[in-house]
Structure 1
Amino acid sequence: MMLFASGVNFGFRRTIPHMAGIGAGFFSLLIGVGLGLGALLHTMPLVYTVLKFAGGAYLVWIAWKIASSRSLSEGRSSAAPMSFVSAAAFQWVNPKAWVMAVTAMATYTNPELYLASVLIVGLAFAVVNLPSVSTWAGFGSALRKWLSDPVRLKWFNITMAVLLVASLWPMLK
């Protein structure tokens, strides 16, 4: 949803660093979890709880920024899409990314060829990531013209923000 909203508000080209940052950040998270950081979550539940609420708070802040964006021209001048570094770093506090990384490593790694399988899982996710994030940003970018009407854009941004916050519900239960 964040990439969809970024595609609408900033266009596909200006969203590329955000897309690349997600790919690099999630790849590094997958490798980190594969090399043992996932075990930290199992042995220290408080770390997971802190991570979950910090990530949730950050997503609520992003939702607020999306909901309060006023116009497409505002996106060109005063606001900016998420940078490569911000998007990559966000993966490390995104509880949904952690759940996916831990699940992927637990499901798809082979204990006999563990390091090789960690790398293969990371590379497989990286290959799938690019078309996935490009699709979200591309659909958003394709709606830019239709959403150039300020009323439509306002309600689109509010809807995207509400959906982003709603996506936290399963994680916070």
Structure 2
Amino acid sequence: MAGTILPLALFALVSTITPGGATTLATASGAQFGFRRSVPLMAGIALGLASLAAAAAAGLAGLLLAAPALELALKLAGTLYLLWLARKIGRSGPPAMKTELARPTGFIAGACLLWLNPKGWAMTLGAAASFAVLAANPPALALLLGTTFGLAAAFSLTLWCLAGLMLARLLRTERQWRRLNGALGLLLAASIVPMWLP
């Protein structure tokens, strides 16, 4: 069984560790607030991805294919949410400054990020289709995919948050902080482009 699950684990790890909206947000939160205060965000993202993978495996993919308007609404909501987060990050300064980003993004916002992110949908729907043979029925596949993607996301987000923490130790001036936050905000906004490409 371990031999058959390994490709799924690798797929989940590669999918979650590559740069995107969630990883950029984890990096920004680590730099701005530190690891401990970023844990609720990372837990929300990991649980959001786990529940999304479980839902995809349980058959929610059929609903999206049957209702293209729902998929478009999901893309629009995801785009607006990510642009709002990108603006908040991009306008923030050093952690001590009173800015719009006065506290870390929380658990619920992290979970919503994945449910509104078409990249997350594409990743989990692809996994549900590709690895359906690993389970005897949809509930078992939902449990397997949810667990795998949740653990992979937790690991990946931890690495990205720690990278943000290391960046924070290198930054000494307000100007350096503004440049980092501006770059992270732009990266988050840029992560929207692939969701609109065919």
Task: Give the alignment's TM-score, normalised by structure 1.
Answer: 0.92
CA distance in 1 between counterparts of 2:55 and 2:98 reads: 34
State the 1:98 CA deviation: 1.1
CA distance in 2 between counterparts of 1:169 and 1:150 reads: 30
Structure 1 stretches of 5 or more lacking a match? none
- CA deviations on 1:50-80 (whole Å, 9 max, x unpaired) are 1011101110110000010022113799611
Tell me the residue number matched to 1:74.
97
Is residue 2:45 matched to residue 1:22? yes
State the 1:129 CA deviation: 1.7
Is residue 2:185 matched to residue 1:161? yes
Tell me the residue number matched to 2:32.
9
Is residue 2:130 matched to residue 1:107? yes
**Residues 49-128 of structure 1 mapped to structure 2, 5 A cutoff:** 49-74=72-97, 79-110=102-133, 113-114=136-137, 115-128=139-152
Residues paired across the two proteins, number: 173
Regions of 4+ moved over 2 Å? 74-78
CA distance in 2 between counterparts of 1:51 and 1:128 reads: 24
- CA deviations on 1:120-147 (whole Å, 9 max, x unpaired) are 1221112222211100001101111212
Residue identity over aligned pairs, in percent, reads: 35
Tell me the residue number matched to 1:172.
196
Tell me the residue number matched to 1:136.
160
CA distance in 2 between counterparts of 1:57 and 1:100 reads: 20
State the 1:117 CA deviation: 2.5
Is residue 2:47 matched to residue 1:47? no
User: Which amino acid in the other structure matches residue 165 of structure 1?
Assistant: A
